[in-house]
Homo-oligomer: A and B are copies of this chain.
């Protein structure tokens, strides 16, 4: 399990949500409260949009809580859309290449959850990645494979369909391989304009996911950044939240059909 947050709206300094809140993501890296492992110390990552078309990326394998660079970057950078993620590894190595968010072109993706028994079907899952994207696979996680597979299925054009189709196919592979562990998926994806947040699990035990509207911004988080849950809305299981222009524009069903 991991913890993450995504922001879209009025440009703000990253520290506003990443490091300053009392239960900020950096605080959650050592003391998360809504997941099985309270420690998310297996690396971290930032992805943010600035003046360039491609997002900036800062990832490292150290724990987020002790990284001065991370604090400094969050203190300096102001952005209208950014992702931040702290990792608790589930079987793959602690390495920079396995840290979220993942990026390709203008897109960013991050994930909390896992493909149960991934080791057994890894090659099949990777086979879903088109050749021209496969050379961009630099790590070994299930998350990066899902991202690249969905990119190959038009995630930029229709994120819900692309991820739904990828997840459905993986669930079928898991079933065929007699894997009893679940597939769980809380994730954020953006093409640089529209932000999609997903919450789904094949066993209805999806990782927590919340969103909070601001004046002209939306935050999506694994767990609230303060002790009160008052302003935070749970994303229902089996849903996809769509944010554009700093507003939630849609909360719709996220359908994963397992053939």
Contacts and interface: CB of A to CB of B under 8 A. Distances in A.
Interface of A: 13, 30, 38-39, 41-42, 48, 50-52, 54, 56-63, 65-66, 68-69, 72-73, 75-78, 89, 92-97, 119-120, 122-123, 126, 131, 134-135, 137-140
Given A76-B50, A76-B52, A137-B140, A59 B69 contact: yes
Nearest to A103: B72
Given A48-B76, A62-B62, A68-B93, 18 more contacts: A38-B38, A41-B41, A41-B66, A50-B76, A50-B77, A51-B76, A54-B75, A56-B72, A56-B75, A57-B72, A58-B72, A60-B69, A77-B77, A93-B96, A93-B138, A97-B140, A138-B140, A139-B140
A66 B66 CA distance: 16
Nearest to A78: B51
A99 to B, nearest CB: 11
Contacts of A66: 41-42, 89, 93-94
Contact of A95 (B39, B65, B97): B97
Oligomer: number of copies? 4
A77 B77 CA distance: 8
A161 to B, nearest CB: 25
Contacts of A137: 140
Given A63-B63, A75-B56, A122 B138 contact: no
A69 B58 contact: yes
Given A78-B51, A122-B134, A123-B131, A94 B62 contact: yes
A73 B75 contact: no
A147 to B, nearest CB: 16
Contacts of A54: 75
11 contacts: A30-B41, A51-B76, A56-B72, A68-B96, A73-B73, A77-B77, A95-B95, A97-B140, A123-B131, A123-B134, A139-B140
Contacts of A77: 50, 56, 76-77
Contacts of A120: 135
Contacts of A61: 62
Nearest to A120: B135
A45 to B, nearest CB: 10
A77 B134 CA distance: 29
